[in-house]
A and B are shown apart, each in its own frame.
Chain A
Amino acid sequence: MTILKIEQVSRTFPARHGNAPTRALEPTDLIIGNNDFVTILGPSGCGKSTLLRIVAGLDRPTSGRVTLDGRAVTGPGADRGMVFQSYTLFPWLTVRENIAFGLRERGVSEAERNEIADGFIRQVGLSGFENHWPKQLSGGMQQRTAIARALANDPKILLLDEPFGALDNQTRALMQEMLLSIWERDQKTVLFVTHDIEEAIFLGSRVIVMSARPGRIKAEINVDLPHPRSYKIKTTPEFVQLKERLVEEIRTEALKVAEHA
C-alpha cells in the first residue's frame, strides 16, 4: 500500500534583486492513495511543477511536509520516479544503459539489469533501439525511454512533469495511450502534472485543478470513465461534459494570469 500525504505544503521563493518574495504555492493538502492516477491541471505559473518537485525532493517546502508511507520526504530518492518535461536521458548512455541507470546504482548485476531493461524496452515499444544513443531518437522515443527508466526502478510512485509537453499532438496522443495501458496493466500510483485539459481527463482518475499565482487547489473532480480507456472515449458525451467544466475552471485562472501579466 502506498499513501502519499501532502500536508500544508507551501513554497515561497525568496526576494531577489529588490523584488518582493514570490508565493508560488499556498499551503496545500492532498492525499494520494494506492494505485491512484491523479492529474494536476493548471495554467503555467500556478505552482504545479513546484508541488511536484517538492514531492520528488528536488525542492524544499517553505512550510508543511510530504510523507510517503509515513516517512517524511527530505530529498530525492529512488522510491519516487520522475519524468521531466525536458529530455533528460543521459546522452553518453544507450537506451538500455539509460533504463538500467537506477538498477546499476543499486548494484544489480549486469545480466539482471539487462533483463529488466529489455522487459521495459518491449513495454514502451522500443525493441530494436536498445543500443541507440539518445541523440538518434525522436522526442517521443526519448520520453518513452525516460518513462521506462523511471519504471525500471520500481518506484512506489511515478511523478510526471508535463512529460509530453514538447511533443506534437499525434505523438502526444499515442504516448498518453501507452502510459495509460501500462498503468491499467501494472497498477502504479501516479501523479501527473499537465496544462492540457484533455490529457488530464483522459489519463486521470482524479483531476486536481490549481489556481493561478499564488498556486492553490481550486477544485477536485473525479473522472468516473471506465477502464480500459481508448482514444475514442475523448468524443463521448461524458468526456465532453467534463471537459467543458474544466475549461471554465481553467479559463478564469488563465484570465487572472493574463490580467496580471
Chain B
Amino acid sequence: MRPLDPVTSKQRVAYGLAFFVLFVALWSWATLGGHVSKTFLANPLTMVQEGFDLLTKQGFVYDIGMTIWRVVGGFALAAIIAVPLGVLMGAYKPIEAFLEPFVSFARYLPASAFIPLLILWAGIGELQKLLVIFIGSVFQVILMVAVTVGATRRDLVEAAYTLGAGDRGIIRRVLLPSSAPEIAEILRLVLGWAWTYVIVAELIGSSSGIGHMITDSQALLNTGQIIFGIIVIGLIGLLSDFLFKAFNAWLFPWRLA
C-alpha cells in the first residue's frame, strides 16, 4: 500500500465484499457464540428467518412500497420547487440577496422537529409524511443549486455573449447545461438524506411503512425484524444510488468522454 496508489476494479470489489463478510462474522460470533443476549440482538440466521416471515406473511412488501412512495413523492415535490428557485438565485444576484439569508436559516431547522407541528396541521396522513421530506430537502437543494449555478465558469458565459446570446440564452444554453450534472449529483445526495427523514416520520404516528414496522417490532422485542428493516433501507439506498449514478452517466456523456 502506497499513498494514492490505485487498485484494480477486481480488487475493489473483493475488498468491499470482505468488509461485509467480516461484519457478518463478528455479528455471528457475538450472537451465536452467546456473548450478547438474544433479547437485545438477534443473530443473523434469526434475522433472515424473521425477514422471510415479514415478506411472505406480514405484507412487508406493502410497507416498503409505502416508504418508497413517500420518499420519492416528497423528494420530487421538493426538487420541482427547489431546482428552479436555485437556478434563479444563482443566475440573478438580487434574487439571491433576497432569499439566501432566509433559506440559509431554514436549512438548519431540523425536519424531525416539525413533525409535531405537521401532525397538527396536516394530520397523520400521507400529506404529513410528504411534508416532512419536503421540508428536510427543499432548502438544502435550493442552496446547493444556487451555489452551483453561481459558480458557472465566467469565460463560458462571456463566450456565449460574444456569440450573440441574450440573457435567456445564457440561462438556457450555458448556466443550465453547465450546472446540470452537478444538480443531478445534489439530488442524488439529498435523496439519501430524505431516507432518514421518512423513517423518523414513520416512527411517529404512522400505520404503514418501514419505520412503522420497526416501532411495532420494538414493542414485541423482535430485534430480528428491526435489523431486517434497517438492512432493507440500506439496500434500497444502495440501489437508488446506483440507478441515479447510471442515469447521470447516461444523461451527461460529455463529462466522461
Contact = CB atoms under 8 A, between A and B. Distances in A.
A105 B164 contact: yes
A4 B167 CA distance: 26
Contacts of B254: 91-93, 133-135
A129 interface: no
Interface string A82-108: 101010101111000000011011100
A84 B159 contact: yes
A195 interface: no
Contacts of B5: none
Given A76-B161, A92-B252, A135-B254, A105 B155 contact: no
Interface string A56-86: 1110000000000000000111101110101
Nearest to A80: B162
A105 B162 contact: no
Contacts of B162: 56-58, 76-78, 80-82, 150, 159
B163 A149 contact: yes
Interface string B155-177: 11011111111100100011001
A75 to B, nearest CB: 8
A22 interface: no
Contacts of B158: 58, 76, 82, 84, 88
B252 A101 contact: no
Contact of B164 (A56, A91, A153): A153
B178 interface: yes
Contacts of B166: 105
B22 interface: no
Given A105-B169, A136-B257, A88 B164 contact: no
Given A86-B155, A105-B169, 7 more contacts: A75-B161, A76-B158, A77-B164, A80-B162, A90-B156, A133-B254, A150-B162
